[in-house]
Structure 1
Amino acid sequence: MKFVLILSGLLVLIIIWLVLDFRLGRRKHHLITSKIETGILHGELDIFTHGKEFFRRYFSELQKAQKHIHILYYIVKNDSLGREFFTILKEKARVGVEVRLLIDRLGSFTIKKKEIKELKDAGVLVAFSNRVKLPFLFYSAQVRNHRKISIIDGKVGFMGGFNIGKEYIDEDPKLSPWRDYQLIITGESVNFLQSEFLLDWNEYSSKKVQNEPSYFPKLPKGSIRHQFNPTEAGLLEGIFIDLIKKADKSIIIGTPYFIPSASIFRELLAARRRGVSITLLVPYTADHILVQEASFHFLRKLLTEGSLVYQYQNGFYHAKTILIDDKICDIGTANFDKRSLFLNKEINCYIYDPAFIERMRQVIKKDILDSKLLSLEDLNKPDLWRSVKETFARVISHFL
């Protein structure tokens, strides 16, 4: 009995510590975070939807670099694709190209000290973002740098959903083929991606860097109107709400995880009730436990209100996009979940070009053809184990 009381007391203390750690850490994070967004920029954008196609182009651009390569990734895995990636970076560093690699400490946990030493010995500058640290251990373990951007010679930029790992080139049998959306960007807006990378680099690296002129070459304006919005600590929620409010006819959301905040979900329901059609595209197969179960509560309500929910069946759907009428297209690193909304560092591109938006509409139309329409009857079939998982998923949904 005494042992049980001691154990219970310890459990209570641990829960109190976790709650205080998280709340105080979040409060501090909010205090030091400010909103950043660009004005309307003009560049040239193209999109990749398949990993093998993307990585052929990406690695080719890396190999062509002459001055500097600046890369920020959430996940770099210690597998065949990761090793090929590291080999290119080491080769470029050895011939005098400045190579800076910033990777998330937990997202890239499979990278060992040996690989880091080899990179550094070759001249690659390596830093880890978002280390778990005191005084808020639990909170800092939750806040990840989920941005995925690369800038080559200050002239070519990449951003989107792809990380570095073999599953992204269809070498994971469970999740193949992998479906994602990745932008390649040229023109004046590459300067902002460069600025954002350097801000993150200087926050986490002991080897600070100045804004050297060569990092920001004079770049031509392109034809596609767009802007960038890096977010963290809850800033994304307001942006998504503003997007939803702009909808007059239709909202299309593509996301691997649909776990909206209460405020965003209220706005979605309000849009549906004023006559806006809502289409949601999500995976049929989950890549993490409980993420699907956490979405079912919201999907039932959307289906009841007449929304359409499609589950992608031709592999795993990891893309992140929102289309508002024919006015705005959002492509970026943020998922439609509470982790991206409130915890992660993200960066999204908001595109206002009618031709590009129509192109994205056709991409999504193709993905819908590879999907199964979910019905309310499917979700309401009696399933005790699913109900248990749903209950637990709702309790911890803030961390999914």
Structure 2
Amino acid sequence: METFFIIIGVLYVVVLYFFVDFSLGRKIHLKKLQLQHFPDRYSDIQMFTSGPELFADLFAELKEAQKHIHILFYIVKKDRISSEFLSLLKKKADEGIEVRLMLDWIGSLKAKRSISRELQGSRVELVFCKAPRPPFFFYSSQVRNHRKITVIDGKIGYLGGFNIGKEYINLNPKLSPWRDYHLKIIGEGVQDLQHMFLRDWEEAARVRLTQNEAYFPHLEKGKYRHKLIPSEGFYLEQTFSSLINGAKQCIMIGTPYFIPGKRLFHDLQSALKRGVKLEILVPSNPDHALVKEASYQYLRKLLDLGATVYQYQNGFFHSKILIIDDKVCDVGTANFDKRSFYLNHEMNCYTYDPHYIEKIRGVLKQDQSESKLISQQDISMLNPWTFCKEMVARSISLFL
């Protein structure tokens, strides 16, 4: 009996530590937060949906770089495509091109040593950002830089859901084919991607480059009006809430993880009650434990209110998209989940051109056609094991 109370006491202290660490860490984080606001821009935008197609284009543009290459990924792995990527960066650096590579400390943790070894002695500048640090180790370990930004010569930018690894080029049998949305941006918007990369670089490397005009060449206007929206565990929820509350006809959501939190869940229910059509597309097979079960409590209620929910069947769906009334389309790095809303550093692109939105809507409709409609019964009649997983998922949904 004495041992039991000792164990309970230890568990209580551990839970209390995590709670205090997280609460104080977030409070200080929000107090220091300096939000970035960018104006409307005009750029030419192309969307890629497959890894082989994206990386063929990206690597071709990297080979043509003349001045500087700035890349931020959440994940770079230890495999063939990652080695090819790093070799290309080394080659460009040897040619005299400035090459800066920034990776999230947690996201690329498994390959951190191999990446460092492979780039050791090269002219590529490498930093790992968002490493856990005192005094709030737990909170800082949960705040991740989830942006995936590439800027080449300050003129060509990439942003979206792909990272560097074999699963992203359809070489993981369990997750193939990998379906994702990634943007190539040429025009005014590239300066905002560059600014955010250099701002994150300054925080991680303690080197300020945002004032260097060499990284901000003159950019011509492109075809599509858009706005880049950075967020840091704050602000994204507010912008999504405003869009959803302004919807008059239809809301379309595509996300690998649907864990909206109280505010957006309430907004979606209100939209359905006022007659707005809601369509949600999620993967059938998840890539992380418990994320599927964490969505059930939200999907059940939305289905009751008339939402349409699709489960993607043709591989793994990792795209992040929100379309409101064919008037605004968001594609970026943020998932429709608590981690993206309350913890991660994200970057999204809101586009307002009706012709662009019509084209992207067609892509999303195609993905819906390769999906299965799910009913209330599909996610309500759970076996005991799935029920237990859902209960656990609910309690830790913020950290999934």
| TM-score grouping bracket, smaller chain normalisation | over 0.9
Output the CA distance in 1 between the equivalents of 2:100 and 2:202: 11
% identical aligned pairs: 50
Equivalent residues in 2 for 1:17-28, closer than 5 Å: 17-28=17-28
Output the CA distance in 1 between the equivalents of 2:241 and 2:197: 26
Deviates more, 1:229-238 or 1:337-346: 229-238
Output the CA distance in 1 between the equivalents of 2:138 and 2:275: 43
Question: How far does the alpha carbon of each residue in 1:252-276 deviate from its partner, in whole angstroms, 9 at most, with x for none?
Answer: 0000000001011101010111110
Q: How many residues are treated as equivalent by the alignment?
A: 400
Partner of 1:248: 248
Q: How far off its partner does 1:68 sit?
A: 0.3
SS of 2:288's partner is coil
1:260 aligns with 2:256: no
Question: How far does the alpha carbon of each residue in 1:29-61 deviate from its partner, in whole angstroms, 9 at most, with x for none?
Answer: 111113322111101100000110001001111
Partner of 1:43: 43
Output the CA distance in 2 between the equivalents of 1:189 and 1:115: 30
C-alpha contact (below 8 Å) 1:68/1:98 kept by paired residues: yes
Partner of 1:320: 320
Give the partner amino acid of 1:7.
I
Partner of 1:291: 291
Partner of 2:15: 15
Give the partner amino acid of 1:69.
I
Partner of 2:214: 214
C-alpha contact (below 8 Å) 1:45/1:184 kept by paired residues: yes
1:147 aligns with 2:147: yes
Structure 1 residues not aligned, in runs of 5+: none
Output the CA distance in 1 between the equivalents of 2:117 and 2:284: 40
Deviates more, 1:349-358 or 1:381-390: 381-390
SS of 1:35's partner is coil
Q: How far off its partner does 1:323 sit?
A: 0.3
Output the CA distance in 2 between the equivalents of 1:97 and 1:388: 53
Output the CA distance in 1 between the equivalents of 2:265 and 2:240: 10
How much is the aligned-residue C-alpha RMSD, in angstroms?
1.1
C-alpha contact (below 8 Å) 1:29/1:233 kept by paired residues: no
Question: How far does the alpha carbon of each residue in 1:119-139 deviate from its partner, in whole angstroms, 9 at most, with x for none?
Answer: 141100011110011100100
C-alpha contact (below 8 Å) 1:230/1:348 kept by paired residues: yes
1:365 aligns with 2:368: no
Output the CA distance in 2 between the equivalents of 1:238 and 1:353: 22
Q: How far off its partner does 1:188 sit?
A: 1.1
Output the CA distance in 2 between the equivalents of 1:114 and 1:343: 27
Equivalent residues in 2 for 1:1-400, closer than 5 Å: 1-400=1-400
SS of 1:110's partner is helix
Q: How far off its partner does 1:6 sit?
A: 2.4
Output the CA distance in 2 between the equivalents of 1:94 and 1:344: 34
Question: How far does the alpha carbon of each residue in 1:212-269 deviate from its partner, in whole angstroms, 9 at most, with x for none?
Answer: 2221000101110000110012221111101101211000000000000101110101
TM-score (norm 2): 0.98
Output the CA distance in 1 between the equivalents of 2:114 and 2:81: 17
C-alpha contact (below 8 Å) 1:251/1:324 kept by paired residues: yes
Output the CA distance in 2 between the equivalents of 1:36 and 1:242: 18
Q: How far off its partner does 1:4 sit?
A: 2.7
Question: How far does the alpha carbon of each residue in 1:54-86 deviate from its partner, in whole angstroms, 9 at most, with x for none?
Answer: 010011111111100000110011111110100
Q: How far off its partner does 1:10 sit?
A: 1.5
Structure 2 residues not aligned, in runs of 5+: none
Deviates more, 1:152-161 or 1:198-207: 198-207
Output the CA distance in 1 between the equivalents of 2:168 and 2:286: 15
C-alpha contact (below 8 Å) 2:195/2:210 kept by paired residues: no
SS of 1:372's partner is strand
Give the partner amino acid of 2:29.
H
Q: How far off its partner does 1:363 sit?
A: 0.1
